[in-house]
Amino acid sequence: MDDIPIPLPTKPERFMDRLRAFMRARHMAYRTEKTYCVWILDFIRFHNKQHPETLGTTHIQEWLSYLANNRHVAINTQKTALNAVVFLYKQFLQMNVGDIQFAKANKGRRLPTVFTHDEAIRVLAGMHGTHRLVASLMYGSGLRVMEAVRLRVQDIDFAQNGIFVRAAKGEKWRRTLLPKSLIEPLKTQIDYALALHRQDLAEGFGEVYLPYALAKKYPAAPRSPAWQYVFPASNRAEDPRSGVMRRHHIGEQQIRRSVATALAAASIHKKASCHTFRHSFATNLLRNGVDIRNIQELMGHSDLSTTQIYTHVIGIHERGVVSPMDVDF
């Protein structure tokens, strides 16, 4: 249950607890909370655990330069670290950090690894059951692994062949494609999930986790079939936030391990992972002539430049450019 926020005291006193409580009051994604806290703690430790209120612009610049010059982080990693400390000072501490000047990381953004369609099918063929269905959604619908395992029954729109992705990365919501080939397997999976839910109800359980204050606003919703996870965990567990015994969704790590095993079995030696399916979804849509703005919407990218990286992945050899070695002059 790695997407469940750790419990906080009712009246937080420790610095990091107060920071986390501040983030949650603003409904920040838990992944963002965890990432920001990692970098803020890194910043504090770099300056020998001095309190951030005693530090300032110069200290931020020194740390960011250290990340670039000594730890050789990538550009996007350094940007994330900067965003974390800027949030700390401007939002939480209400302190002005001024104009920050620092050494920029020079490890450029790499082109994402993608599967050919044949490679994707070979990996999927090496997977079974629920794990295969989750991976098929990553490839067929462009879902992130966390989005796939968190799907609720009501998110699958069979009538319009669509999938509703709620509160995804950056708290964005979107609709994406539901592959026709996955309709029957998903119906079977949902039947299984709801049968498990009925069993839980019969045994005095059956309440699923609802984000934010939805459970208070809609008291019947946690037991509603619509809110149940499409991919429920095999066992119930105690929710550390409330102490309530409930059934969570299957873990992301299960899917990651299953994909890694299938990659090895398929003898695919690319630096690939679950996310490679999502990259391959976008790249193959582009290959098939889908407009890049439609791909942007399906992927949930805020900025078109993020989607445009897939135009580089396809490569100039797919645009009719031929090496002089292969030309008969």
Residue 306 DSSP SS3: helix
Task: Give the active site residue among 89, 209, 229, 310.
Answer: 310
Task: Give the active site residue among 24, 59, 275, 287.
Answer: 275
Task: Give the active site residue among 278, 279, 287, 293.
Answer: 278
Q: Does the annotation mark 312 as catalytic?
A: no
**What are the angstrom distances between the C-alpha of 94 and each of 52, 89, 90, 207, 226?**
12, 6, 5, 39, 42
Task: Give the active site residue among 20, 144, 150, 152.
Answer: 144
Task: Give the active site residue among 110, 301, 312, 319.
Answer: 301
Q: Does the annotation mark 128 as catalytic?
A: no
Q: Are 84 and 36 in contact (CB under 8 A)?
A: yes
Q: Does the annotation mark 278 as catalytic?
A: yes
**What are the angstrom distances between the C-alpha of 281 and each of 10, 51, 125, 277, 299?**
44, 45, 17, 6, 9
Q: Does the annotation mark 310 as catalytic?
A: yes
Q: Does the annotation mark 301 as catalytic?
A: yes
What lies within 8 Å, CB to CB, of 143 at 6+ separation is 137, 163, 165, 176, 278
Using CA atoms, how far apart are residues 243 and 4, in angstroms rounded to an integer? 12
Residue with tokens 């299960």, as numbered in its chain: 254
Task: Give the active site residue among 79, 169, 223, 236.
Answer: 169
Using CA atoms, how far apart are residues 45 and 33, in angstroms rounded to an integer? 18
Q: Does the annotation mark 117 as catalytic?
A: no
- Known catalytic residues are 144, 169, 275, 278, 301, 310
